[in-house]
Amino acid sequence: MRALRYLVVASLVTVACATNPATGKRQLMLMSEAEEIALGKQADAEIRQQMGLYQDKALQQYVNQVGQRLAKASHRPNLPWTFAVVDQQAVNAFALPGGYIYLTRGILPFLRDEAEMAAVLGHEVGHVDARHSAAQYSQQVLAGGGLAITGILFPETQPFQGLAGAGLSLMFLRHSREAELESDQLGVGYASKGGWDPSGMPGMLTTLQRLDAASGNTRGVPNWAMTHPLPADRVDLIKETVAAARSTSTQTRNEAQFERQLDGLVFGDSREQGFVRGSDFLHPVLRFAVRFPQGWEVMNSPQQVVARREENSNAVMLLQLAPNASGSVENTARRSMAEAGFRLLNGDAGRINGLDAFVGVYQGVNENTANMAVEAAHIRAGNNTYILAGIATPNAFNGARSTFQSSIQSFRQLSASEAERLQPDRVEFYTARSGDTWESIAKGAGRGVLRAETLAVMNGSDPGTPPKAGARIRVVVRG
């Protein structure tokens, strides 16, 4: 039987080998182009629903126009290419099979000009052209696992709601070093054919190497360094390709046009996603607020807000919408927790700051089959029902319970005037003066929103090199 299985696998590999359209190499491919497009289309809908698109029509059109020029220069120009900016603060870009390309809002302030944006988009076009995600899918199918669903939330929180869609799973595929270098080379070629200076690629890689994962929240959408390997020699390895492309490129950079799109760009949390302000989470659109324990790290993702004391903490808190809420708050609480595998020990219906609520203590296990104790409040505010829960191991639960209860009792609605006053941080521009340092600009014109080191990287500078007098500097100002 083992010999027969090997024979079947070998036959499947022989039948499924295809010529890569970008590289000309033979590769394992169990997915047709039509299936690739269908999978990408399905995943695109998930991405748009779960992450949301940044609400700036002019910016979306601008990014799509640049992307379409790159797509025309690609090896697969007839794919249904789409290019969009998702409303996420992490610094990243990613591609789905079939021609669906995304930039996060958070990466844009760290790109120097249009040539660097073209390099990022071209790199992602390269992944699609070379069918890197489709090849990984084929390898997993051959191994018998299908497309592995990647959980991106803490194991403690996953019994309530995980992100298990194909779109996010495809997005989190980490390509090999060889695939990344291949996409670098392809991206340089596409940018050059599209009329951009191909040196945007090493410039972009240098900035991202400096930045690493220092751009804020990485839960929900990881930063570039978590999904794109950045070895120290990657810039050097692309130099020859860049030099060859520059000999035929028109070397357009379009810095002024790119910066016009940046002026006023939301930085960090958005009104649509809600704001983390110290220990508070405030959502001006849904008009509610909650105060998490003082000193805990609060992380806002597309599906949940999670707070924890420290890495590998045995106690966490989460806030999310209750799934399939209907009927009374108590009925929703009992049903949703039972469906998540948690047994109600005791609970009471009541009101929290004037809102209908049901607070209960539950026991259950998480996906790692670890026993967990939960104090969870289901709270109805407006048209939504929210779960605000503290989760701990049984031996830590009693010690953390008063902390959980304090946060639960802090949940309240925001008044219309409070919600209106909550505005996002935005990118603006400042002209450097003689004697300015990154530290002084960060504290002065930047109003302390960013660290000096991050501000320097945002402006394409080494943090140890001060800005030149008269230079136009990007800053982020508090909303």
Instruction: Report the 3 state secondary structure along 54-91.
Output: CCCHHHHHHHHHHHHHHHHCCCCCCCCCEEEEECCCCC
Question: What phi and psi values does residue 325 have, to the nearest 5 degrees?
Answer: -70, 130
Beta bridge partners of 381: 384
Separation CA 128–CA 75 (nearest Å): 10
275-420 matches 424-477 in fold = no
3-state secondary structure of 142: helix
Fold of domain 275-420: Protein Transport Mog1p; Chain A (3.40.1000)
Domain boundaries, the chain: 18-267, 275-420, 424-477
Contact by Cβ (8 Å): 47, 170: no
Start-to-end CA span in the chain (Å) = 67
Separation CA 296–CA 317 (nearest Å): 10
Q: Kindly state the tokens that stand for 360.
A: 């209960």
CATH of domain 424-477: 3.10.350.10
Contact by Cβ (8 Å): 208, 180: no
The stretches of 150-194 forming alpha helices (DSSP H) are 166-171, 177-194
Contact by Cβ (8 Å): 371, 346: no
Distances (CA, A) of 154 to 59, 62, 312, 367: 33, 36, 9, 10
pLDDT digit string (tens) for the chain, length 479 residues: 444 344 333 334 444 556 666 665 666 556 788 888 998 899 899 899 888 999 999 999 999 999 999 999 999 999 999 999 999 998 899 998 899 999 999 999 999 999 999 999 999 999 999 887 766 665 554 544 443 333 222 334 444 544 345 555 665 566 778 888 899 999 999 999 999 999 999 999 888 888 864 444 444 566 776 677 665 677 888 888 898 888 765 689 999 999 999 999 999 999 999 999 999 999 999 999 999 999 999 988 878 899 998 766 789 999 999 987 889 999 999 999 998 889 999 999 999 999 999 999 999 986 665 789 999 999 999 999 999 999 999 999 999 999 999 999 999 999 999 999 999 999 999 999 999 999 999 999 878 888 899 999 999 998 889 999 999 999 999 88
